[in-house]
Amino acid sequence: MNLKELSELLGLSQTTVSRALNGYPEVSEKTRIRVVEAAREHNYSPNSRATGLATGRAMVIGHVIPLSARHEIVNPVFGDFVAGALQTYSQNNYDMMFAHAVDGGEAEIYKSLYNRRVVDGVVLQGPKVVEPRIKALRDLGIPFVVHGRSSAEHGPYPWVDVDNTRSFRRATEFLIDLGHRRIALINGLEDMDFAMRRRKGYEDAMAAANLPLNPDLMFTEEMTEVAGHHAARDMLRMETPPTAFMVSSMISAIGVRRAIEEAGLKMARDVSVIAHDDDLSYLKNGQDVPIFTATRSSVRHAGEIAAQILIDRINNPQLAPQTRMLEAEIVVGRSTGPGPER
């Protein structure tokens, strides 16, 4: 059933039927009701491709699945971020489109999606410290929003991010206050902007407390359970092992815990751990008392906000780029305890 058939059936013009359904004022209430009911009854829904052609808007937003280049790892954060964005999209009658990039061809994919008018805007996930995609998107005039930031990018652009530096500084300070001195950092890949910022927070706190930075205690890898385990295991075998770990993800932290237990130690009592918790729905950090002391920030919430910023921008392109800094909260759980200096 299409517009033409429906209008013939009602004895009205396509114009009138279209206007009635889209809530324009130039149509009497009687006919509007008649039209709306006929539409429902005959199960009419407008062809989105035709609508899109006529209006010039796709009502679709594009995402590119951030496969980690090195190991083809799907970011575990992905599902929850998407769920958040999707919620905002559907409230605004947008659909969500996916594409995936082959080997760093992400900019190409974005361009293709936009040039083919498949999408009205795109979300850039997982920005690196140096992120040429941002300039590319700006130059192409594609509306976009970044989940995270890119330190090497100085022009204005819209983003949502957690204050990673601040949260890791605070958390490291917390460990120092507890009496820890040898504090290890198990970080994500440091070409990722968030990882670089977390390292900076860690370093700032160490420096402020006049503690030396020991490269052997600073590890950077993909954030998997196995990598976390591996790094922590090696460090715990050192002559003077760390007494505390700052860990960039819950998944890695689970690996760290495994290494601690394998070493015959007890978390909190012997070794403290603070993890970053993205508040993933399938990996909640305990129920009442959290398993891990953590810096927590909901990635799902970030998804909702990112979506809203982008939609606002699409609707109002001359708007100045909106930015939104989220603060991670520090929740105290069962993975931290006093260190040797206390």
Spacing of C-alpha 269 from chain mean position: 33
Using the rule CB under 8 A, is 47 a contact of a second copy?
yes
Residue 19, contacted partner among DNA, a second copy, none, CB below 5-8 A by kind? DNA
Q: Looking at 49, 154, 269, 342, which residue binds a second copy (CB under 8 A)?
A: 49
Largest CA distance in the chain: 88
Neighbours of 32 (CB within 10 A): 18
Q: Looking at 9, 36, 51, 301, which residue binds DNA (CB under 7 A)?
A: 51
Helices 14-21, 3-10: inter-axial angle, 10-degree rounding: 100
Residue 42, contacted partner among DNA, a second copy, none, CB below 5-8 A by kind? none
Q: Looking at 23, 56, 141, 215, which residue binds DNA (CB under 7 A)?
A: 56
Kindly tell me which of 158 and 303 has the beta carbon lying closer to a second copy: 303
Kindly tell me which of 165 and 308 has the beta carbon lying closer to a second copy: 308
CA–CA distance from 108 to each of 49, 102, 121 (Å)? 23, 10, 14
Using the rule CB under 8 A, is 76 a contact of a second copy?
yes
Q: The tokens 């809530």 sit on which residue?
A: 23
First to last CA, the chain: 76
Would you state the torsion angle of the CA atoms of residues 237, 242, 246, 248, taken in this order, to the nearest 10 degrees? -20
To DNA, the closest distance from the beta carbon of 37 in angstroms equals 14
Residue 27, contacted partner among DNA, a second copy, none, CB below 5-8 A by kind? DNA
Cα–Cα distance measured from residue 75 to residue 65, given in angstroms and rounded to the nearest whole number: 9
Of 225-244, which residues contact a second copy (CB under 8 A)? 225-226, 230
Q: Looking at 36, 38, 41, 46, which residue binds DNA (CB under 7 A)?
A: 46
Q: The tokens 């970011």 sit on which residue?
A: 75
Using the rule CB under 7 A, is 232 a contact of DNA?
no
DSSP classification of residue 76:
T
* DSSP H or E segment with residue 253: helix 250-262
To a second copy, the closest distance from the beta carbon of 292 in angstroms equals 11
Q: Which residues bind DNA (CB under 7 A)?
A: 2-4, 11-16, 18-19, 21-22, 26-31, 44, 46-47, 50-51, 53-56
